[in-house]
Structure 1
Amino acid sequence: MYSRIHEPHACTLTDALREWATSCPGAPWLEDSQGSAFTVGQALTGSQRFASFLHHRLGVQPEERVGVFMSNSCAMVATTFGIGYLRATAVMLNTELRSAFLRHQLNDCQLSTVVVDAALVEHIASLADELPHLRTLVVVGDAPAAVPGHWHQVAWTDSSACAPWEGPAPQPEDIFCIMYTSGTTGPSKGVLMPHCHCALIGLGAIRSLEITEADKYYICLPLFHANGLFMQLGATVLAGIPAFLKQKFSASTWLADIRRSGATLTNHLGTTAMFVINQPPTEQDRDHRLRASLSAPNPAQHEAVFRERFGVKDVLSGFGMTEVGIPIWGRIGHAAPNAAGWAHEDRFEICIADPETDVPVPAGQAGEILVRPKVPFGFMAGYLNVPAKTVEAWRNLWFHTGDAGMRDAQGLITFVDRIKDCIRRRGENISATEVEAVVGQLPGIHEVAAYAVPAQGAGGEDEVMLALVPSDGAVLDMADIALQAGALLPRFAKPRYLRQMDSLPKTATGKIQRAILRQQGSAGAYDAETAHAR
């Protein structure tokens, strides 16, 4: 374990890697699904060589921003830590970004240098005339023979000839990276994340999962998001444990990867957990070392399958966002299906408040989740280029998450939904994500989105509507789906309207844009209430 693990205000991941590599340089750390592997010493040396390459060969200065447009790999880790050692700022770019979404982030950060996988170069090249700041592409892998653009192109492997960087170490308050939050009504916003903020996320995982040196992490979520980079990879650096990096999540290989890697820990999103659950059962479902899984959200149906079918002893959840880290975590040995967990109260303060007045609400009543840090530089330093948005989010000296939740008398916090995505029907607040978790398990359904549409003459309340994307070759019978869903859901959460769609509208980071679905209304949709009346 990192020697400063009990001093969160002084922690940085770069210092944790340096300390680990100094004491155990030959210890295995990373193996990726592309066949590369790093000991801790190799990771440190590779990262410091890359820092030197950026500065001495490419002219990148401390505090300058460098884009990282890469999929999970050992090279991506060395790149990100190398930028950190230089005291520059890594801009973590989602590999699914295209066109206007990619242009916005590249130009918003005024990126002059981008490290990019060879397979992704074409997406930057397509914007050649719209990126006035870009001057250098560092290409990982075999670059295309001819790529149009006004920039200089160099190979990532050229960094191996550089001497390791020996400049000043980054401090907890320095900005380690920028991650963009997906916007539904406007452009995504860059979140300025200090080194301490990033390390604090990994520290939370160590406490929540009770990580020991006997553990190993299987990381299949992307490193351009905080879950993969800090909750998982960051925790391995701080705890001094190995990890297996999957280039991209695959439900069909998930179990084989878990077994082959010998992993004891992994994380899921709600959708990845559902995709794993939907795989056909096998005789190997319990033949692995996985002892704990952290999934957000963690519906009771999912938790039961991971415990009973896969034999995972502890299935936990948590709550957080890029701006605040993870202030709420589950606990080993304390099953809490559907709930997020308990606040790490020595590091964060949580308030559940009326979203209109910011006045705290009683235990058991839903309100907006407000957060503020107790650790210096344990939060974002603001939104890049939009100070007004930073001030707006920090109203009344609390960061407003925009998420609804409730806390019981024992302090257990349950995430309800995005406030704007809550559905209120028959006097009950309905979580869209919970409806989706149930309906998404029905046969023939590939994806589902639940959202509110206005109920006629119901005093401003809502009806539940579903947008459904069928699996390949499936034919959806709306009446049958409404019947099956009605049998599984509480009466107040039964969907009234259902519509089949070829695909769901999503942001660049894959979040469903319910606002667009709501605008489309219920006209022409299957109406379970009137059909039943007939």
Structure 2
Amino acid sequence: MITYPDYQTRFPPEQWALPTVLEHQARTIPDHPFLSWTDAGTPRSFAETNREVNRIAHGLAALGIGKGDLVGLFLPNCVEYVLAWFALAKLGAVEVAICDMYKGAFLEHPINLAGARMVVTTPELLPLLAEIEAAIPTVEHIIVIAGADLPAPSFARITTSRFADLYSANDSNPGIAVSPRDLGAVLLTSGTTGPSKGVMMPHSQFYFFAEEDIQILGLTGEDVYMTGFPLFHGNAQFLTVYPCLIVGAHCVLYPRFSATDFIGRARRSGATVTNLLGATMAFILAQPEAEGERDHRLRAIYAAPLSPDLGDRFVARFGPVDFVDGFGQTEISMPFMTPRGVPRPAGASGVLNAQWFDVRLIDPDTGRDVEPGKPGELLVRNKADGIMAMGYIGMAEKTVEAWRDLWFHTGDSLKRDEDGWYYFVGRVKDALRRRGENISAFEVEAVVRGHAAIAECAVIGVRADQAAGEDEVKACVVLVEDAQLDIEDLIRWCEKRMPGFMVPRYVEVYDRLPQTPSEKVKKNELREAGITPATWDRVAAGVMLAGERKPPVTA
């Protein structure tokens, strides 16, 4: 049975900490280009990045930030995000990555879960923090990436300062001892039967996840890696920026993903590798054909998941490229990976990385292993220290539940063939994924139920139009007795209270939701029904969210 080939990591385990890696590269390849904001201007070298990060770290230390302190990064993509993340790591402090589309209770939750002392943000996002000041008691100070003057609004309690004022004249390494076992970051993952959880990732796991990306892509110091995916996600952090740091590659960051300028960016940046998530490949292929589409240097794309028909169409249009894939979660790194140069069966996510992980596929009802070809819940156990998460911050019960029996229970269903290839089947847990974003059904339901006309709500994922294995959000609702529902009004209610990617596309009104004898909603029945003649479709109705464009038409 095939497994992923054994490999040596670039750095030994005792050096798996971001400050150690950055300082090593600044010494050994000081002038090599490392970090670019878009494809314009001169990239920062490894030595320049290290010095700038040191200056910011000393500035944060002057504000009282030290080892173990948690700091929220509530930012859109910008180069300051990476600099702040690295500076916090230099001090042994911990980044709390917060989606820049959060507002209200969604924004309060990660800040309070982590007990963040400080938040870094922008003038545009500052009012959202002002609105919840009373609800985030641990936050003492907010740093704003602003111009000469700090913008309104003012805060009653929280103090503010400019990011530019962090820059100390001291550009030496702070010299704080940061161990691979120290907590490096808190990244949010979807809630299933409750709010989103904050995954505690030690420095060692952050490094190891990046090393896995290096292995499947064959990444070297000669590569140029581009991304427009959000930096508050692991994909941009430990599957793009950090791999470049480890191998000495050049990383090119963009404000957001662009289907229309995908090839243009690849051409201008000289990118050799990139990532595509979910439906993004379908969006690229939906663009009008143009001259020079093969005029690029892309050699490999991490595509998760890869729809075989889309991959074939991509190659036929844009030229040969090596597609790689893997299966992982923020908590467990990547136990399955696609070996380079080995033919992959259609739909396979990879083979077991047996050097580092043990896995089981079990019947979730009996706990017994399933036979090859049968779907089962994935359980994972690490063979080496520090390559999986430390648990969920502020949620001891959820940590114990997920790691019960000394196995991590992923809540995802996979199957294995006789040759050792693993295939993702679906989600055992009640979560869904839309356009690269993990969504907690629980959180969407809580907002929908807040509408005056709604008595009950169950949120499910239904298959998206694109052939990329993604979900669209459907809200199944029961109305308050004698209430009338204007569905567009419900959508606007949701838009004001949740990130745009969570707002339901589909809404269906039920007399009652199917329930078990214990009064739990039978979501499997709702999923099986999917889209029915009674389902209202926001896209078909022409109801667009703020800043949203009509979806591309695929062939």
TM over 0.5: yes
Partners of 1:34 and 1:73 within 8 A in 2: no
Question: Match of 1:101, as an amino acid?
Answer: F
Partner of 1:300: 308
Q: Give the whole-Å Cα distance in 1 for the aligned partners of 2:268 and 2:191.
A: 38
Question: Match of 2:472, as an amino acid?
Answer: A
Question: Match of 1:440, as an amino acid?
Answer: Q
Q: Give the whole-Å Cα distance in 2 for the aligned partners of 1:400 and 1:268.
A: 27
Q: For 1:388, which of 384, 393, 397 is the aligned residue?
A: 397
Partner of 2:44: 38
Q: Give the whole-Å Cα distance in 2 for the aligned partners of 1:130 and 1:421.
A: 28
Partners of 2:335 and 2:352 within 8 A in 1: yes
Q: For 1:51, which of 51, 57, 71 is the aligned residue?
A: 57
1:100 equivalenced with 2:105 (yes/no): yes
What is the total number of aligned residue pairs between the two structures? 465
For CA contacts below 8 A with separation 6 or more, give which structure has more relative contact order: 2
Match of 1:161, SS? Answer: coil
Residue 241 of structure 1: how far off its partner (Å): 0.4
Question: Match of 2:393, as an amino acid?
Answer: L
Shift in CA distance, 55/304, structure 1 to aligned 2, threshold 3 Å? same
Match of 1:252, SS? Answer: coil
Question: Match of 1:24, as an amino acid?
Answer: I
Unaligned runs of 5+ in 1: 424-432, 454-468, 470-500, 529-534
Residue 516 of structure 1: how far off its partner (Å): 8.6
Deviation string, structure 1 residues 158-183 (Cα, Å, up to 9, x no partner): 22234134232311100000011122
1:351 equivalenced with 2:360 (yes/no): yes
Residue 126 of structure 1: how far off its partner (Å): 1.9
Q: Give the whole-Å Cα distance in 2 for the aligned partners of 1:319 and 1:4.
A: 19
Partners of 2:473 and 2:503 within 8 A in 1: no
TM-score (normalised: structure 2) = 0.77
Partner of 1:133: 138
Partner of 2:551: none
Q: Give the whole-Å Cα distance in 2 for the aligned partners of 1:278 and 1:503.
A: 31
Match of 1:179, SS? Answer: strand
Q: Give the whole-Å Cα distance in 2 for the aligned partners of 1:9 and 1:369.
A: 29
Partners of 1:125 and 1:148 within 8 A in 2: yes
1:440 equivalenced with 2:440 (yes/no): no
Partners of 1:38 and 1:74 within 8 A in 2: no
Residue 296 of structure 1: how far off its partner (Å): 1.3
Partner of 1:223: 231
Match of 2:279, SS? Answer: helix
Partner of 1:480: none
Q: For 1:406, which of 409, 415, 430 is the aligned residue?
A: 415
Q: For 2:73, which of 65, 68, 74 is the aligned residue?
A: 68
Residue 420 of structure 1: how far off its partner (Å): 4.5
Q: For 2:198, which of 176, 181, 190 is the aligned residue?
A: 190
Partner of 1:484: none
Shift in CA distance, 292/75, structure 1 to aligned 2, threshold 3 Å? same
Q: Give the whole-Å Cα distance in 1 for the aligned partners of 2:90 and 2:531.
A: 57
Deviation string, structure 1 residues 301-352 (Cα, Å, up to 9, x no partner): 2221222222242112211111112221223223434221112211122221
Residue 215 of structure 1: how far off its partner (Å): 1.1
Residue 206 of structure 1: how far off its partner (Å): 1.0
Q: Give the whole-Å Cα distance in 1 for the aligned partners of 2:431 and 2:314.
A: 27
Shift in CA distance, 283/361, structure 1 to aligned 2, threshold 3 Å? same
Q: Give the whole-Å Cα distance in 2 for the aligned partners of 1:411 and 1:511.
A: 36
Partners of 2:225 and 2:271 within 8 A in 1: yes
Shift in CA distance, 76/524, structure 1 to aligned 2, threshold 3 Å? closer
1:17 equivalenced with 2:22 (yes/no): yes
Shift in CA distance, 172/301, structure 1 to aligned 2, threshold 3 Å? same
Q: Give the whole-Å Cα distance in 1 for the aligned partners of 2:201 and 2:531.
A: 45
Partners of 2:462 and 2:474 within 8 A in 1: no
518-527 or 226-235: which moved more?
518-527
Residue 422 of structure 1: how far off its partner (Å): 11
Q: Give the whole-Å Cα distance in 2 for the aligned partners of 1:281 and 1:434.
A: 32
Unaligned runs of 5+ in 2: 1-7, 433-459, 477-486, 515-525, 536-555
Question: Match of 1:239, as an amino acid?
Answer: V
Partners of 2:473 and 2:502 within 8 A in 1: no
Q: Percent identity?
A: 32
Q: Give the whole-Å Cα distance in 1 for the aligned partners of 2:387 and 2:507.
A: 34
Q: Give the whole-Å Cα distance in 1 for the aligned partners of 2:365 and 2:72.
A: 38
Deviation string, structure 1 residues 362-394 (Cα, Å, up to 9, x no partner): 222111111111221111101011111111101
Shift in CA distance, 283/503, structure 1 to aligned 2, threshold 3 Å? farther
Partner of 1:151: 158
1:369 equivalenced with 2:369 (yes/no): no
Partner of 2:349: 340
Partners of 2:184 and 2:201 within 8 A in 1: yes
Shift in CA distance, 211/145, structure 1 to aligned 2, threshold 3 Å? closer
Q: Give the whole-Å Cα distance in 2 for the aligned partners of 1:131 and 1:89.
A: 18
Shift in CA distance, 120/33, structure 1 to aligned 2, threshold 3 Å? farther
Q: Give the whole-Å Cα distance in 1 for the aligned partners of 2:507 and 2:356.
A: 37
Q: Give the whole-Å Cα distance in 1 for the aligned partners of 2:507 and 2:295.
A: 44
Partners of 1:314 and 1:335 within 8 A in 2: no
Partners of 2:227 and 2:275 within 8 A in 1: yes
TM-score (normalised: structure 1) = 0.80
Once superposed, what is the RMSD of the aligned Cα atoms? 3.3
Shift in CA distance, 108/273, structure 1 to aligned 2, threshold 3 Å? same
Partner of 2:448: none
1:253 equivalenced with 2:261 (yes/no): yes
Q: Give the whole-Å Cα distance in 1 for the aligned partners of 2:17 and 2:183.
A: 11
Q: Give the whole-Å Cα distance in 1 for the aligned partners of 2:370 and 2:498.
A: 32
Partner of 1:310: 318
1:266 equivalenced with 2:271 (yes/no): no
Match of 1:251, SS? Answer: coil
Shift in CA distance, 130/153, structure 1 to aligned 2, threshold 3 Å? same
Partners of 1:9 and 1:377 within 8 A in 2: no
Residue 450 of structure 1: how far off its partner (Å): 8.4
Shift in CA distance, 98/267, structure 1 to aligned 2, threshold 3 Å? same
Partners of 1:319 and 1:341 within 8 A in 2: yes
